[in-house]
Amino acid sequence: SGRLNLMAVVPEVIKKFGGAGHYVNTVSPTYAREIRNTYFEVDRLLRDIEHRFGGILNGIDFSVWDPETDRALARNFSIQDGIPAVRDARTVNRNVLMSLVSKEGDISTMGIPQDKLHGSLDPRSTRPLVGVVSRFVGQKQIDIVARMCRDIAEGRMPDPGVDFVILGTEGLEAGQTSEIEEDIADVARKMNGRMAYVQFYSDAFSKMIYASVDMFIIPSDYEPSGLTQMIAMRYGAVPI
């Protein structure tokens, strides 16, 4: 097909496609240089194919990730309309999002089973809203977020004065729940209207989060040319 995911590649694939007539690509020129200088077998093989391996800077398709035309949003917006108009539209999206994940909300209208919502948010809250949209794999370090929120809920960490909305799973088979999912769900229930965790993945709901939150947490151990921060900025949220 011409598609090769270097983030999940195995040595056998490089050996097969790294020969003459093929070019192996990763997410940025900088990352391509960095991974030539480690000590894993994959990286040694990439050094061996030299000029047939490089990086093309990652990016997002602005026609797909476009808050001006995105049908998932309650209200569309464009920076061309000015900051006040963007702020007003994002406030509308925030209010709709917080209503959906409130105690009285019905998240099933977004195609998400109601039992996948853990915890809730108070629609009347004026606290800054912090978002997370992620796969719950080791690289993403979601356990750091879970530990931080638990410390806040149990009084071991000063209250930062923010609310949290988290969307994601570990991607296990239907009916299976990972330890980190259970941990975040438990913390969300203890946060008393300050945290909502949606144990599901929904493209439409992820876009509502991007278009609603004030800040976006990306605690990844490494994130070479990651798309999440690009999408967050496109939709008006500050990536952290």
By C-alpha distance, which of 114, 188, 198 is closest to 150? 188
By C-alpha distance, which of 159, 151, 97, 98 is closest to 123? 98
Strands (DSSP E) along 93-239, which ranges?
A: 117-121, 129-133, 163-167, 194-198, 215-216, 238-239
Q: 234, 65 in Cβ contact below 8 A?
A: yes
pLDDT per residue, tens digit, the chain (240 aa), is 445 454 455 566 666 666 666 777 788 888 888 877 777 666 677 777 767 778 888 899 999 999 999 999 999 999 999 999 999 999 999 999 999 999 999 999 999 999 999 999 999 999 999 999 998 887 888 889 999 999 999 999 999 999 999 999 886 555 566 888 999 999 999 998 999 999 999 999 999 999 999 999 998 887 777 889 999 999 999 999
Q: 201, 169 in Cβ contact below 8 A?
A: yes
